[in-house]
Amino acid sequence: MSKQILVLPGDGIGPEIMAEAVKVLQLANDKYSLDIELSFDELGGAAYDKYGVPLADATLERARAADAILLGAVGGPKWDTIEPALRPERGLLKIRSQLGLFANLRPAILYPQLADASSLKPEVVAGLDILIVRELTGGIYFGQPRESKVLENGERMAYDTLPYSESEIRRIAQVGFDMARVRNKKLCSVDKANVLASSQLWRAVVEEVAKDYPDVAVSHMYVDNAAMQLVRAPKQFDVMVTDNMFGDILSDEASMLTGSIGMLPSASLDANNKGMYEPCHGSAPDIAGQGIANPLATILSVSMLLRYSFNLSQAADAIETAVSKVLDQGLRTGDIHSAGMTRVGTAAMGDAVVEALRSL
């Protein structure tokens, strides 16, 4: 039976970068006879414009029925003033939560060709290869109660709640340890256990899970220290596992160590490795429609999709090799451009990856 992929280009630069990723996916499909079928729908602001909600029920059902989902990015100033419950981001949070995509894998890998694009010294980042495992369906993003209200004295106040149950922590810790096991057997769990009750439970449960992985060296770090260590000496890290909000923040930080957030893919997986794949970056409304966005993070998300959801490592490897080849050729979008390199736009970058893949 053919493998069904639901493509959700989203907002801002989403449609532009997705067009390039789809070209690459279609070529990989032909070249390696992958038997993949694509269908398309909307998420985020584009869905709000078309259906009046950021994630339509019918879209959610199609996502449930699909074998994997490829997502561009959501959000933009156009929808900043609509009712909070209908904002584009709500569609993204809902699809993550409804599909149970609790394990978010965000690799931060420095391509040797891009060492100059990092804001850190080349020797600090050379060879960098970190995997952030972010809990994606719990914590403060989803905790109840949450409320905005006006107090009796007329002052406005608002609060959120940061809950974690033992089972939610255990399953994401297990993903972290499993990943560490197939990498360098080193896991750093990041929390704020000196202050937060949820983090104290987090640390205790990670310690319990660690007993099942005696071959993995586990350490714990407070999130403020982890943020500092990431820019001081990032190569001390291999796999980092952390909660939803800390993971959101640290993964943006880690991505910039590699030169550009425009290079980094991500996978969000459920308990059966069904996944949604998306670039780590956002919808970049400031450059949308100009044809200058970097499509490589989305193209590399295709590679992650083939690898994690379908176990098609030959095709996944080939896409990664093709990306590396275009970087060797000196092609750079604006975000990763440096002196002496050839500046190209979104479509030219996508076409170059297609050509490199074709000639492998």
**Minimum distance from residue 144 beta carbon to ligand IPM (Å):** 18
56 binds, among Mg ion, ligand IPM, none (CB under 5 to 8 A by kind): none
CB neighbourhood size of 231 (10 A): 15
**Structural contact between residues 43 and 10, judged by C-beta atoms closer than 8 angstroms:** yes
For residue 144, what are the CA distances in angstroms to 81, 141, 160, 161, 345? 24, 9, 7, 6, 44
Pairing type for strands 129-135 and 103-109 reads: antiparallel
Whole-number Å distance between alpha carbons of 280 and 282: 7
**Structural contact between residues 321 and 299, judged by C-beta atoms closer than 8 angstroms:** no
351 binds, among ligand IPM, Mg ion, none (CB under 5 to 8 A by kind): none
CB-nearer residue toward ligand IPM: 101 or 316 = 101
320 binds, among Mg ion, ligand IPM, none (CB under 5 to 8 A by kind): none
- Does 253 sit near ligand IPM (CB under 6 A)? no
**Minimum distance from residue 89 beta carbon to ligand IPM (Å):** 4
Give the residue from 135, 128, 236 showing the smallest Cα distance to 176: 135
Subset of residues 49 to 78 that bind ligand IPM, contact rule: CB under 6 A: 75
Is 41 known to be catalytic? no
- Binding-site string for Mg ion from residue 238 to residue 257, where x marks contact by CB under 5 A and - marks none: ----------x---------
28 binds, among ligand IPM, Mg ion, none (CB under 5 to 8 A by kind): none
- Does 135 sit near Mg ion (CB under 5 A)? no
DSSP 340: T
**Minimum distance from residue 291 beta carbon to ligand IPM (Å):** 23
Whole-number Å distance between alpha carbons of 17 and 271: 28
92 binds, among Mg ion, ligand IPM, none (CB under 5 to 8 A by kind): ligand IPM
Overall residue count recorded for the chain in this entry? 360
**Minimum distance from residue 92 beta carbon to ligand IPM (Å):** 5
CB-nearer residue toward Mg ion: 49 or 89 = 89
Number of residues that bind ligand IPM (CB under 6 A): 4
Whole-number Å distance between alpha carbons of 310 and 274: 9
Pairing type for strands 3-10 and 217-222 reads: unpaired
- The tokens for 266 are 């991500």
Query: 3-class DSSP state for residue 324?
Result: helix
For residue 150, what are the CA distances in angstroms to 154, 158, 159, 271? 6, 9, 12, 41
Is 248 known to be catalytic? yes
Is 141 known to be catalytic? yes
- Binding-site string for ligand IPM from residue 113 to residue 152, where x marks contact by CB under 6 A and - marks none: ----------------------------------------
Is 192 known to be catalytic? yes
Whole-number Å distance between alpha carbons of 325 and 339: 19
- The tokens for 51 are 């259906």
Whole-number Å distance between alpha carbons of 15 and 43: 11
44 binds, among ligand IPM, Mg ion, none (CB under 5 to 8 A by kind): none
Q: Which of 248, 315, 319, 333 binds ligand IPM (CB under 6 A)?
A: 248
Number of residues that bind Mg ion (CB under 5 A): 1
Is 243 known to be catalytic? no
Subset of residues 185 to 224 that bind ligand IPM, contact rule: CB under 6 A: none
**What's the burial of 58, exposed, middle or buried (CB within 10 Å: 0-12/13-18/19+)?**
exposed
Give the residue from 190, 167, 165 showing the smallest Cα distance to 246: 190
**Structural contact between residues 180 and 186, judged by C-beta atoms closer than 8 angstroms:** yes
- Does 278 sit near Mg ion (CB under 5 A)? no
Is 96 assigned to a binding site? yes
Q: Which of 49, 67, 89, 351 binds ligand IPM (CB under 6 A)?
A: 89
Residue among 111, 141, 164, 277 flagged as catalytic: 141
Known binding site: residues? Answer: 76-89, 96, 106, 134, 224, 248, 252, 282-294
Which chain residues interact with Mg ion by CB under 5 A?
248
Q: Which residues are catalytic?
A: 141, 192, 224, 248, 252
- Using CB under 6 A, list all residues that contact ligand IPM: 75, 89, 92, 248
